[in-house]
């Protein structure tokens, strides 16, 4: 019998590479499909690798023909919110149109299990509930990045509605941070905009200063509050989602966060305290497209797919990212 593979788009990127590692360690066969625009081939520690772009239908079709694809996990995307405000069509092309290409391929090749990297950015400003935003909140994204991802959720929902065997889980990640606990992979990009990485790179002298974008938000210390989730816990959520889909023909949208937040200033302080290094953090104007507070309501994912996070601790998250940055330096 032909072996079944998971197609992992964007598997050479930050989050995808952690999921590929976990799937590999758990005995799953994978094919990573990545154009290496921001990813790195060395981060793909398991399975097959095909360098290709989701806009290249011939190469993509070739992968579906060569391997018996049993499920897709779709990470590949452009992910920088301010860039999406400056260049919206890049985001509708890479995130929405290319997702349509991939979903069409799934329909053509009868691949019925689909896990999608969605985002808290679909909520926009959320519903103002200080306990966090839950999945019932009407999504109203406030930037092209969030809209481009929400459109993909809608495509998946519409396809699932008319295709009895097609099921998807859209995981709405909050702020993903940290690195592999074995220190083998982590966020590679020197241009990373993720706060914890920027803080660590500044502490290690790779950047001159850290900018705090906006100190006049309606939050206790005036800076934005986010729900930081360890990438290792997030990887586990994908494995749990996959196991769920293998047994249950049902689609869901699930938040991935811990249900508590930290402000930019709190993160900067935590990095300084852990590393015992003082670095330059300057106050800058607000960035376009940043909501003041985004915290997840985190119950549903546990109830539906049984996800139980193990690394819900900001210091541990920073420590794992630090170990990775240090090893890379």
SS3 100: helix
Q: What's the DSSP call for residue 258?
A: -
| 254: β partners | 171
| Alpha-carbon gap, residue 139 to 121, rounded angstroms | 9
Q: Which of 26, 37, 209, 315: binder of ligand NAD (CB under 6 A)?
A: 37
Q: Which of 23, 54, 81, 304: binder of ligand NAD (CB under 6 A)?
A: 54
Q: Does residue 176 interact with ligand NAD by CB under 6 A?
A: yes
H or E element that contains 114: strand 113-119
145 tagged catalytic: yes
CB 32, CB 20: distance < 8 Å: yes
CB of 283 to ligand NAD, least distance (A): 23
Between residue 237 and residue 256, which ones bind ligand NAD under the rule CB under 6 A?
A: none
Task: Pull the structure tokens for residue 152.
Answer: 């993909």
CB of 15 to ligand NAD, least distance (A): 4
| Alpha-carbon gap, residue 308 to 30, rounded angstroms | 24
Between residue 93 and residue 122, which ones bind ligand NAD under the rule CB under 6 A?
A: 94, 98, 117, 119
Q: Does residue 77 interact with ligand NAD by CB under 6 A?
A: yes
| Alpha-carbon gap, residue 74 to 33, rounded angstroms | 10
Q: Does residue 35 interact with ligand NAD by CB under 6 A?
A: yes
**Active-site residue, from 145, 217, 228, 322:** 145
295-233-39 Cα angle (round to 5): 95
Q: Which stretch binds ligand NAD (CB under 6 A): 34-42, 279-287, 295-303, 317-325?
A: 34-42
Q: Which of 12, 31, 199, 225: binder of ligand NAD (CB under 6 A)?
A: 12
Phi, psi of 215 (to 5 degrees): -125, 15
CB 83, CB 127: distance < 8 Å: no
Q: Which of 5, 6, 8, 15: binder of ligand NAD (CB under 6 A)?
A: 15
Q: Which of 67, 75, 168, 213: binder of ligand NAD (CB under 6 A)?
A: 75
Size of the site for ligand NAD (CB under 6 A): 28
- Half-sphere exposure in the Cβ direction for 254 (13 Å, CA): 26
CB 301, CB 229: distance < 8 Å: no
- Closer by beta carbon to ligand NAD, 78 or else 223: 78
Chain residues binding ligand NAD by CB under 6 A are 9-10, 12-16, 34-39, 53-55, 75-77, 79, 94, 98, 117, 119, 149, 173, 175-176
The residues that are catalytic are 145
């Amino acid at each position: 019998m032909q072996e079944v593979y998971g197609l992992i788009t964007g598997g050479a990127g930050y989050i995808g590479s952690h999921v590929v590692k976990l799937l590999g360690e758990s005995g799953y066969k994978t094919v990573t499909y990545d154009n290496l625009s921001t990813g790195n081939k060395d981060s793909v520690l398991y399975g097959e690798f095909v360098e290709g772009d989701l806009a290249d239908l011939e190469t993509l079709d070739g992968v579906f023909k060569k391997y018996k694809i049993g499920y897709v996990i779709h990470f590949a995307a452009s992910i920088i919110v301010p860039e999406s405000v400056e260049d919206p069509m890049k985001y509708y092309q890479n995130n929405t149109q290319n997702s349509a290409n991939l979903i069409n391929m799934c329909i053509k090749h009868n691949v019925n299990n689909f896990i999608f990297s969605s985002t808290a950015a679909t909520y926009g400003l959320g519903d103002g509930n200080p306990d966090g935003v839950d999945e019932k909140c009407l999504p109203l994204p406030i930037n092209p990045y969030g809209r481009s991802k929400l459109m993909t959720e809608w495509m998946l929902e519409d396809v699932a509605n008319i295709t009895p065997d097609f099921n998807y889980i859209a995981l709405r990640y909050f702020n993903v941070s940290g690195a592999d606990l074995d220190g083998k992979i982590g966020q590679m990009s020197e241009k990373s905009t993720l706060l914890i990485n920027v803080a660590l790179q500044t502490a290690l002298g790779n950047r001159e200063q850290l900018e705090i974008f906006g100190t006049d938000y309606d939050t206790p210390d005036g800076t934005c509050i986010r729900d930081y989730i360890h990438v290792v816990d997030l990887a586990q959520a994908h494995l749990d989602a996959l196991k769920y889909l293998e047994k249950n023909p049902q689609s869901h949208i699930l938040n991935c966060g811990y249900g508590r937040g930290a402000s930019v200033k709190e993160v900067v302080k935590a990095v300084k305290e852990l590393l015992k290094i003082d670095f330059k953090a300057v106050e800058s104007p607000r960035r376009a497209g940043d909501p003041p507070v985004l915290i997840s309501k985190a119950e549903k994912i546990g109830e539906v797919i049984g996800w139980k996070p193990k690394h819900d601790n900001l210091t541990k998250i920073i420590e794992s990212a630090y170990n990775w940055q240090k090893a890379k330096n």
